[in-house]
Amino acid sequence: MDQPAHIFCTRSSRYLAERIAEHYGKELGKINFLEFSDGEFQPSFEESIRGARVFLIGSTFPGAENLMEMLLLCDAAKRASADKITAVMPYFGYARQDRKDKPRVPIGAKLVANLLSTAGATRVMTMDLHAEQIQGFFEIPVDHLYASGIFVEYIRSLKLDNLTIASPDMGGAKRARAYAKYLDAEVVICYKERAKANEIGYMTLIGDVRGKNVVLVDDMIDTAGTLTKAAEVLKEKGAISVRAMATHALLSAGGDQRIQDSVLEELIVTDTIPLKDTSKSKIKVLSCAKMFAEIMELVHHKSSISGKFIM
């Protein structure tokens, strides 16, 4: 007999957690937050979770308190004698710090993995990690979901002729090939060199897009500099239309306005991160709530989840 399942969430991810809980068929559990005058906070579960499987939903996008809140919830669940604690992190923050790319820098993704395990998480569930090898930083199971199951159906619904999938950089080539396989499309790659973080120095195109409808695919969009520059290059090379898909919409430093001013037809994102402004006409949000709810239910009942992935 399965132990009971309880679903809780961090404050910043409640908008998504409510949708996930609705698809799962359960109500969100109650958490009370004691807030101190200096900004420190202390969460407490307002119901018994002894012996239960606990799902804690929370994306760890900036600021750092979102990560701290997830860690405190894991620790509280552990000390409340929860049997299994799954950290459901639709967006896994600090994933860009997956290696030492220069001397005297941290490997932030590994640090976060260690912190989650120490705090009490017995399993992690996330979507479209910036680098898949981050799964190897954990000594606990990681369920790595892909937004391709959401995006592919949307692109098919557009019925675009002469479809071509593009990667905005060399690192996303594998992702682009996977999308192309399921969409029966060709692949092109934008090669870029950065002048510094968040600033592109040079970009060129590998492949032919003349007369093609192009869809750029990426795991995240931050300042939107890479995607908008790639879209310009693709249009200059003869693309009929250019769209972009990115799982995580950070959209910092004016990224949302940069999308509006770009040559992109539209940007399709998921709701792993709440958009600051949902009125932007070029940005379409597809929900990942149903996918997470289905995987959570399969995990709870100890069933295989491999059939849910297309990448």
Q: Which of 192, 237, 290, 308 is catalytic?
A: 192
Based on DSSP, count helices (H) and strands (E) in the chain, helices before strands.
Answer: 8, 14
Cβ atoms < 10 Å from Cβ of 202? 10
> Which ranges of 98-197 does DSSP label H, i.e. alpha helix?
108-119, 148-158, 173-183
Residue 302: active-site member: no
Q: Which residues of 155-178 are buried (b: 16+ CB within 10 A; e: fewer)?
A: beeeebeebbbbbbbeebeebbeb
Cβ atoms < 10 Å from Cβ of 282? 16
Rounded CA separation 285/104 (Å): 38
Q: Which residues contact 117 (CB under 8 A, 6 or more apart)?
A: 138, 139, 140
Rounded CA separation 152/99 (Å): 30
CB 288 within 8 A of CB 90: yes
Q: Which residues contact 60 (CB under 8 A, 6 or more apart)?
A: 66, 67, 70, 89, 91, 92, 93, 94, 112
Rounded CA separation 248/222 (Å): 8
Rounded CA separation 21/8 (Å): 9
Give the pairing type, strands 123-127 and 142-145.
Answer: parallel
Residues with a catalytic annotation lie at 192
